[in-house]
Structure 1
């Protein structure tokens, strides 16, 4: 691996500055942009090197063909880590893109129940929750209290606990039960990401289409048997 230029700071690693339009860059300082006498150095694999003079930290980075990146500027002394900053920025951008894509696809469904719901209605409502979670959607469960029911919040709490237990293979409690005015609310999150659920649903539809599109020889067999019976 060729040696890096003597800590000529890449464009991505410039010190925080006012950009066009007045916004402030939030990118960390790297290499010779770190202007402090010493840093608490962290190695490329997360190992603690200790407090070292900035000159030594820069030399270690250059020897390893890595960048020195200030990861905790407010610490005393600041914390800096040896890493490939270009690779780090690329991986961070990919993770952020994946996170935005999942957030854009995630839909919050809502299901409303009464604290004294009858067994049949409960199973129906639970079925809807199961379907939503399988599709990769979050579900907001609302228990609606009326009249004297408001003095029995434990009824709603137990019902929410029961529902969370019944669907725990498909989802988890993202927001624990809490009072919201006259109601009690809980949010369930799916174990599957929306993109995964959509891909599985698409594959299942394709499999069903393939199965129904090619009846093959099986459909012709009964006709052959009938023809033989008529000849007899």
Structure 2
């Protein structure tokens, strides 16, 4: 890996500006002394800033440092992924219970932080009555108005009437806060 910093004997400078394990600056010391100090603490000497004169090296547990960086990257990717868009398809002639099931599904997506694209798909003669689809979308948006905002609504595009719902920001924060509180209560 080319972006990996030099560790212990991989450092090529004769002297380094040493930073201790607590983050305190020790000073400029010969490389051999810095490596011995790190080994005495059973830690690694990691070159933090190779372009400085002299290079800056820090005494740390390199394996733990790499693990924490990878974990932070995984969390960042997880957060990026969670803001995706989910799709729900309906038909103009849908039963009340079926629409309730779809609304529960959309509510769960919205509470998880996803935006939801709701599509009403028309077939054959249903195309003659697009107002049925618009009424269905209005009803859907009204039922979910407590957890969502209508982001966009497009008129008929081919065989579909589409609406995009985005989660309300305040709902996401309160949901996340309640999860962490319930987790803390469970451990006590």
Normalization by structure 2: what TM-score? 0.52
Aligned residue number for residue 169 of structure 1: 146
- Counterpart Cα distance in 2 of 1:201 and 1:182: 41
Question: Is 1:131 aligned to residue 108 of structure 2?
Answer: yes
The correspondence for 1:145, drawn from 106, 118, 122, is 122
- CA displacement at 1:202 relative to structure 2: 3.6
Residue 108 of structure 1: aligned partner: 85
Q: Do the aligned partners of 1:111 and 1:142 also contact (CA within 8 Å) in 2?
A: yes
Alignment RMSD (CA, Å)? 2.7
Deviations 1:51-105, CA, capped at 9 Å, x for gaps:
xxxxxxxxxxxxxxxxxxxxxxxxxxxxxxxxxxxxxxxxxxxxxxxxxx98764
Contact 1:172–1:188, Cα closer than 8 Å, also in 2: yes
8 A Cα contact 2:82 2:112, kept in partner:
no
Indicate the SS of the match to 2:94. coil
- Residue 187 of structure 1 is matched in structure 2 by 164
2:147 and 2:171 in contact (8 A); partners too: no
Tell me what 2:134 maps to.
157
Please give the alpha-carbon distance, in whole angstroms, between the structure 1 residues aligned to 2:157 and 2:181.
39
1:131 is displaced (CA, Å) by 0.9
Is the contact between residue 134 and residue 197 of structure 1 (CA under 8 Å) also seen in structure 2? Answer: no
1:3 corresponding residue in structure 2: none
Q: Which ranges in structure 2 are unaligned for 5 or more consecutive residues?
A: 1-77
Q: Is the 8 A contact 1:136 1:197 kept in 2?
A: no
Residue ranges of structure 1 left out of the alignment (5+ in a row): 1-100, 215-232
- Counterpart of 2:118 in 1: which secondary structure? strand
Deviation at 1:176, TM superposition (A): 1.4
**Any residues of structure 2 matched to 1:73-88 within 5 Å, and which?**
none
SS of structure 1 residue aligned to 2:169: coil
Shift of 1:197: 6.6
Q: For the residues of structure 2 that align with 1:197 and 1:181, how far apart are their CA atoms?
A: 39
Pick the structure with more strand per residue.
Answer: 2
Equivalence map 1:1-232=2 (5 Å) = 105-192=82-169, 196=173, 199-200=176-177, 202-203=179-180, 206-207=183-184, 209-210=186-187
Which structure would you say has the larger RCO, counting Cα contacts within 8 Å and 6 or more residues apart?
A: 2
- Higher gyration radius (CA): 1
